[in-house]
Chain A
């Protein structure tokens, strides 16, 4: 309500500006062993990684395209450029980042956010990180936050090798295999035993090159009794050719540790977002997912949690907003494989202007998962009668001793509510935006403040001109 004065100023151009392409190096479009070899050479991979990439490529070539979700026919891998190195080495000082790239992130508000409320920031531009910085006091606690490439060579090389694509294996699905072959960039985070990182770490991913893919790998290990909040944000300008995002996130949550992983994804609407995220939680540990999906043309996104130790917990709060030309297939997976584990899933989806939003949930519990609790709640709001919203729940419960609940609701904006707000002076457009923001409110309450503001702005932006 009160933020109205600056809501008016926002327009899509804050995401849609494009920089000239001044890449230092770019591989040819398409995917061959030679290209994968080149990427590997370019990145000075250790030998095992080079083999891993080539092996993943084989799996990729043998694996069929998924046939159960939105169409990805518009995505032709022969046209996708898998590796674009920006024209800079990674910098630890913001002032050293080249001006055009710096301006991009300045416009997206990244360094401002760091100064205000972040413990560390990484910024990736196309295939490589261009900036990385951690506050001295956080580094002094032993917290490691670095780009994946440095992690592969440095002190933590063994730890990376032990965990890299062990949770999400290249054999999982075609795009996991693709990721294994051409991944580049991303972050490695290690929080040592007993360390609480008081303020969040953040990575921001920006894809500038047209027709390119972004394949960043995020590996986070939160050791016993440690605590971390990690935020990722993504955006890209709109091009007329298909772009592809097939990132991978692997999260290891130790005994009695807690990790909160927040994402606001606002890829442009020519993006195929085929992202894989997975967490493994040990005894007494907790993973909290907060996820906002607004952008992309097609999304396949189902963060998965494996509750491996006794008493492990998972909480998922998410929102998906599918507008014109968008087919967003999102959801949550959880596997209860130990006693006393619990999962709590609360999602909202909004569809308008013919947008399609599908929510899939999969809850499974093994025989060992005695006294398991799971609650899934999914609410959908359709803003017109040409949009679509589906809920597809799946459950596989192998223990009798479980308490599993699922509820789904689909509704539209009530005319009475619009009339009520208008009767206090609000325009119809504002009244509708206010109701949609309200619908999303319990998600935005979970987000860090500036992201909640961004989400509300995105909603208002989407609602602008939505009255026929």
Chain B
């Protein structure tokens, strides 16, 4: 699969017997930033979930290659350890585990090495500063009672600490106010600087893209990628909306 980090070939996905994705092809290279745009309910989140291996999404045809390996059948945790990361649209609340111990154990699972508490806390505090998170959140139970914005920040915090080679941001900007979007963007930039990881940004608005260099833009309509272009495609959508692509499909 050459230098490509991720190659998706003819990916067809069912959810409860209904076909949602109809043969998606996508290639993402090392260090690239891709944007996936499209109207609500066209299968963008399905793609993100399928890449991570959510068992609710059933691959009926096609393959997913990551880091030169066919991971179509890999369990979720193995994909995570290989460096695939999904930032959830609605991160779940997990009582009994603090944000800090959760991240530490995730880092240790990924690297296979124990991390000294002191070093870990120092690095965690630095990352929380980037995200303007109150340090007390580190010792609170994972996402429990967090506001929508704090949950999204906690996702980006995990991203900064785990340094995955490919990050899928699933509607990370939805429901956030302007300031929060700016903070989250700063976190994403910090991630790019820190480890040069690739990005697949799923969104139906374009606010979050303002401060990022976009390499490729994909338009998804009704479970298919109908157009791939460069960053200028984002501007076009901003101006004209998806109408043109929806019609072309019909």
Contact = CB atoms under 8 A, between A and B. Distances in A.
Given A424-B158, A441-B95, A441-B96, A1 B81 contact: no
Given A2-B105, A4-B105, A415-B56, A423 B97 contact: no
Nearest to B107: A425
Interface string B39-81: 0000000000100101110000000000000000001110111
A27 interface: no
B225 interface: no
Nearest to A420: B92
Interface string B96-124: 11000110111001100000000000000
B94 interface: yes
Contacts of B55: 415, 419
Given A426-B77, A434-B97, A1 B104 contact: yes
B97 to A, nearest CB: 5
A101 interface: no
Contacts of B158: 424
Given A422-B75, A426-B109, A428-B77, A439 B101 contact: no
Q: Give the size category of B's interface with A.
A: 20 to 34
Interface in A394-439: 414-417, 419-428, 434-435, 437-439
A76 to B, nearest CB: 42
Q: Give the size category of A's interface with B.
A: 20 to 34
A422 B92 CA distance: 12
A428 B109 contact: no
B54 to A, nearest CB: 5
B109 to A, nearest CB: 4
A334 to B, nearest CB: 26
A338 interface: no
B88 interface: yes
Contacts of A435: 94
B105 A423 contact: no
A427 B105 CA distance: 12
Nearest to B144: A438
B120 to A, nearest CB: 11
Residue with the highest number of chain A CB atoms closer than 10 Å, among B85, B92, B96, B106: B96
Nearest to A456: B96
A2 B104 contact: yes
Contact of A424 (B49, B75, B101, B106): B106
Nearest to A442: B95
B34 to A, nearest CB: 19
Interface in A374-403: none
Contact of A421 (B52, B75, B94, B162): B94
B81 A425 contact: yes
B92 A414 contact: yes
A420 B162 CA distance: 15
B86 interface: yes
Nearest to B162: A424
Contacts of A422: 75-77, 80
A458 interface: no
Given A2-B105, A4-B105, A424-B106, A439 B76 contact: no
B229 interface: no
A416 B92 contact: yes
Interface in B184-242: none
Contacts of A420: 88, 91-92, 94
Interface string B138-150: 0001000000000
A118 interface: no
Interface string A105-133: 00000000000000000000000000000
A428 B75 CA distance: 9
B112 to A, nearest CB: 10
Nearest to B158: A424
A419 B106 contact: no
A290 interface: no
B166 to A, nearest CB: 13
B101 A2 contact: yes
Given A2-B104, A425-B106, A426-B109, A419 B95 contact: no
A210 to B, nearest CB: 37
A427 B94 contact: no
Nearest to A436: B96
Nearest to A434: B97
Interface string A215-252: 00000000000000000000000000000000000000
A444 B95 CA distance: 12
A415 to B, nearest CB: 6
A253 interface: no
Contact of B94 (A4, A425, A434, A440): A434
A428 B110 CA distance: 15
B95 A1 contact: no
Interface in A352-371: none
Given A1-B104, A419-B55, A428-B77, A438 B97 contact: yes
Nearest to A4: B105
12 contacts: A417-B94, A420-B91, A422-B76, A423-B80, A423-B85, A423-B88, A424-B109, A437-B96, A438-B96, A439-B95, A439-B96, A444-B96
Given A420-B92, A426-B77, A438-B95, 5 more contacts: A414-B92, A422-B76, A422-B77, A426-B109, A428-B77
